[in-house]
Amino acid sequence: MLYKFKSRATGDLILLNEQGRRLLQIMGKEPTAQGIVTVAQIPAAIAAIEAAVAQEEQAMRGAPRAVDRDASQEQDGAAADRITLRQRATPFVDMLKRSAAENADVVWGT
């Protein structure tokens, strides 16, 4: 399943199920098939995402560095996901900021 986020202020943003659900939960939204982030809710949504990003980065600084994995482990999918929340959330936060600037809600559907 995919989450498709839309706003009159930006192009559409498509996220895979896991990433879409995670961002919605961080914002305090139910990961339902459809929903809306109103202009009034956008500042709190941005703050929640930025706080989660900071928390993840703090946790990563405190964790011991992983030993490099060989290519066979990566091919088998055993390597940890190296994409951070910051990387996944940046396009969405940009969408929220641009939508707030143009007084546009952000809606989603699956």
Q: Please write the tens of the pLDDT for every residue from 30-75.
A: 999 999 999 999 999 999 999 999 999 999 888 765 554 444 455 5
The span from the CA of 6 to the CA of 66, in Å, is 37
Rounded to 10°, the helix 17-26/85-101 angle is 60
pLDDT band at 79 (very low <50, low <70, confident <90, very high): very low
The token pair that represents 106 in the structure block: 């952000």
The amino acid occupying position 69 is R
Listed in sequence order, the residues at least 6 apart from 24 whose beta carbon sits closer than 8 Å to its beta carbon are 3, 30, 31, 35, 108
Structure tokens that stand for 70 in this block = 């060989």
Instruction: Name the residue with higher pLDDT: 84 or 80.
Output: 84
Structure confidence at residue 33 (pLDDT): 95
- The torsion angle over the Cα atoms of residues 16, 22, 24 and 25, rounded to 10 degrees, is 150
pLDDT at residue 64, as a whole number:
65
